[in-house]
Amino acid sequence: MSTFAILTSGGDSPGMNCAIRAFTRTLIFSGHKVYGVKKGYEGLIAGDFIKLKASSVGNILQRGGTFLQSSRSEEFKDKKFRKIAYDKLKESNIDGLAVIGGDGSFKGAYALWEDFKFPVIGIPGTIDNDISGTDYTIGHDTAVHTAVDAVDKIRDTAFSHDRVFLIEVMGRRSSSIAIKTALCSGAENVVLPNQEVDYQDLVQSIKRGESRGKKGSIFIVAEGAREGRSYDIQKNLQAKYGISSRVCILGHIQRGGSPSPHDRLIATEMGFLAAESFLKFDEPKVIRQKNGQISTASFSECLANDDGIDFEHIEVIKKISI
């Protein structure tokens, strides 16, 4: 019998609980012990572990967030603290650690392997869908659902008042939520993170709509490096082009809520494969979805920098919003 642990790290995302549940029950089914680590790497350093029974992960499938809680740990970037965490894992006779999170969390997990050869498995969980090596990260679908639902509601006002709306969605480096939300809500244009705003293009979109009698327009803005960039765009549209607009920042409502069936399914498959991968562990792996299949990839593939901008979909948004 072996003992394994699981933690969630970085921004929470809907479906993380489904992955914890599948991981825990798969290992208990095979006769192993499982610990949950509270509050991500902070809890790992503190040795804050709770023994999980099959019933401990009951009734969490439908809940958003992570019942283990999460953190963005600065300390874990320092080898001194990773050593403390490693000692805590050893003291509890833990043989392997599964980490659900984004690329920052994966860097931490891989460092634990590189420093101490401690077995780790990564499970991609972030609403941003921005990890290279996997086509999907747990929580993305639910976040897009939430954003599209919100834009549908705002569209009612955009139409009723002939207004231009700048609707800001999450994604510090990732354009994925913005592009999908724009496509699925019929937005007139999309502003990507970390790119200069093309005002001429935005104004043209508004004019194009006006020429066929549509005065309201919806622009989806990816937040980029800083939440609230829509207010700068709003000011410039007014000052340089005399265009009045309203801003709506969707913010953390995109991170919460009950996971969609798609997220429940993928998270369950990923949690299951993570558990199975520990039972035949040879080297650290990340569970990923590639070409519709749940499989494994190396950490190096999943830690490569890749902004992954979906230019094809941007082209579609422009062409069909005429």
Binding site for ligand F6P (CB under 6 A): 10-11, 126-128, 170-172, 223, 255
8/37 Cα distance (integer angstroms): 8
Specify the residue, 170 or 275, whose C-beta has the smaller distance to ligand F6P.
Answer: 170
Specify the residue, 58 or 251, whose C-beta has the smaller distance to ligand F6P.
Answer: 251
User: What is the nearest approach in angstroms of ligand F6P to the Cβ of residue 251?
Assistant: 8
Please give the residue whose beta carbon sits closest to ligand F6P in the complex: 11
Q: Are 272 and 23 in contact (CB under 8 A)?
A: yes
Distances (CA, A) of 60 to 18, 64, 182: 7, 8, 31
Catalytic-labelled residue, pool 128, 130, 141, 263: 128
* Strand spans (E) along 226-300: 245-249, 285-290, 293-297
User: What is the nearest approach in angstroms of ligand F6P to the Cβ of residue 102?
Assistant: 6
User: What is the nearest approach in angstroms of ligand F6P to the Cβ of residue 232?
Assistant: 17
Specify the residue, 174 or 217, whose C-beta has the smaller distance to ligand F6P.
Answer: 174
Enter the tokens of residue 204: 């043209």
207/212 Cα distance (integer angstroms): 9
Specify the residue, 11 or 108, whose C-beta has the smaller distance to ligand F6P.
Answer: 11
Distances (CA, A) of 73 to 76, 104, 108, 304: 6, 10, 9, 21
User: What is the nearest approach in angstroms of ligand F6P to the Cβ of residue 187?
Assistant: 18
105/162 Cα distance (integer angstroms): 44
Is 95 a catalytic site residue?
A: no
User: What is the nearest approach in angstroms of ligand F6P to the Cβ of residue 146?
Assistant: 12
> Pick from 110, 132, 129: which is nearest to 121 by CA?
110
Specify the residue, 34 or 177, whose C-beta has the smaller distance to ligand F6P.
Answer: 177
DSSP string, 230-241: HHHHHHHHHHHH
Catalytic residues: 128
